[in-house]
């Protein structure tokens, strides 16, 4: 499904993990017409169905792919002060892949998520005065 966020960004989000993974949505799984009846809530903070099912913007954000472009990947490596070898070791991939991600190779969601985690962890350690 395509989602237009309040900041103007548009993003494709696969909501099937939520719909298929929670019993709250059984009726939606079994009735395509009901599923198609979804609306955006009056406050624009969730998707709602006439039978009361709701998928919040927070939940949608969790389902959104964690895209990371090549410039952000380079910036993350700089912030982490990792060499190609260091980043490869930390992510468990070949050094060659890290070099390609720094250039123009599309970054898989798992690598993007792991990279974002490393940066967030690094920032948290710095805030607490620890040496990352």
Q: Please tell me the distance from the alpha carbon of residue 14 to that of residue 34, in angstroms, as a whole number.
A: 18
pTM for the predicted model, two decimal places: 0.58
Task: DSSP for 44-100, please give it.
Answer: SSEEE-TTS-EEEHHHHHHHS-----HHHHHHHHHHHT--HHHHHHHHTS-HHHHHH
- Is 37 in contact with 50 (CB distance < 8 Å)? yes
Residues 6+ apart with CB under 8 A from 76: 68, 115, 116, 118, 119
Average pLDDT of the residues in 4-15: 79
SS3 label, residue 12: strand
pLDDT, tens digit (0-9, with 9 covering 90-100), for 71-91: 999 999 999 999 999 999 999
Per-residue confidence band for 130, with pLDDT thresholds at 50, 70 and 90: low
In this predicted model, what pLDDT tens digit does every residue of 110-120 receive, in sequence order?
A: 899 899 999 98
Would you say 67 and 35 are in contact if contact means Cβ atoms under 8 Å apart? Answer: no
Look at 48-57, 61-70, 79-88, 112-121 and tell me which has the smallest mean pLDDT: 61-70
């Amino acid at each position: 499904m395509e989602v237009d966020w309040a900041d103007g960004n548009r993003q494709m989000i696969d909501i099937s993990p939520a719909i298929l993974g929670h019993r709250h949505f059984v009726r939606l799984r079994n009735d395509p017409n009901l599923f198609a009846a979804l609306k955006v809530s009056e406050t624009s903070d969730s998707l709602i169905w006439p039978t009361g099912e709701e998928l919040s913007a927070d939940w949608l954000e969790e389902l959104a792919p964690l895209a990371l472009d090549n410039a952000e990947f380079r910036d993350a490596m700089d912030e982490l002060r990792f060499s190609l070898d260091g980043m490869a070791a930390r992510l468990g991939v070949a050094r060659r892949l890290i070099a390609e991600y720094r250039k123009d190779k599309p970054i898989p969601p798992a690598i993007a998520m792991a990279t974002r985690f490393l940066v967030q962890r690094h920032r948290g350690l710095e805030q607490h005065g620890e040496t990352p």
